[in-house]
Amino acid sequence: MPALQESRLPAPKAIAGHGHALFGTAIGTCGIAWGPGGIVAVQLPEADAQATRARMLLRLAHCAPRPEPPAVVRAAIEGVQALLAGQPRDLCEVPLDMSRISPFHQQVYALARAIAPGSPRAYGDLAEQLGRKGLSRAVGQALGLNPFAPVVPCHRVLAAGGKTGGFSAGGGAATKLRMLEIEGAHIGGTLPLFG
């Protein structure tokens, strides 16, 4: 696999301690968890706030709720809120802790983070950037396991022919389409689903 070009992403900023918080957005209650290496998870809305928290914390230990997140985390929350309210944000300034993420998934996530809001790409496009069109399924699997949505904007990656493909967040493909519409993307020339 060819090496990726040097990333424009910042080095992770140190964050004191571990914790998590829930926060409101235009599409529902999201969650965020952090540790000393940066953000360890971001969770899109589930059926309710308790389900959002439970899904986010499935694989996380040591992330007790904190009433006041550190400044770096508050900035990440504000960025997610702005993106989901329709502001064209790429969230590349949000420091992610990728220490538990495989090297291949890190490459996929870096490519996804480079996709501009409202400009969806195909799984095959990312696979080609990784060196082989045959990696499309592996790219889809990596994005399906993305613990950082929407900071790693897996909603901006579609199946061939502009089809939505899968989406593991609550609401599935309908949530993916709603997020793309918020960003002003039109899939295959279609009219907005939510007006």
Which single residue is written with the structure tokens 């997610």? Answer: 80
> Residues 6 or more apart from 44 whose CB is under 8 A from it?
27, 28, 30, 52, 149, 150, 169, 170, 175
Q: Which residue from 55, 71, 70 is spatially nearest to 149, judged by alpha carbons?
A: 55
Q: Which of 30, 63, 92, 154 is catalytic?
A: 154
Q: What DSSP string describes 40-90? A: EEEE---SSHHHHHHHHTTT--S--B-SS--HHHHHHHHHHHHHHTT----
**Is there a catalytic annotation at residue 92?**
no
Residues annotated catalytic, as ranges: 154
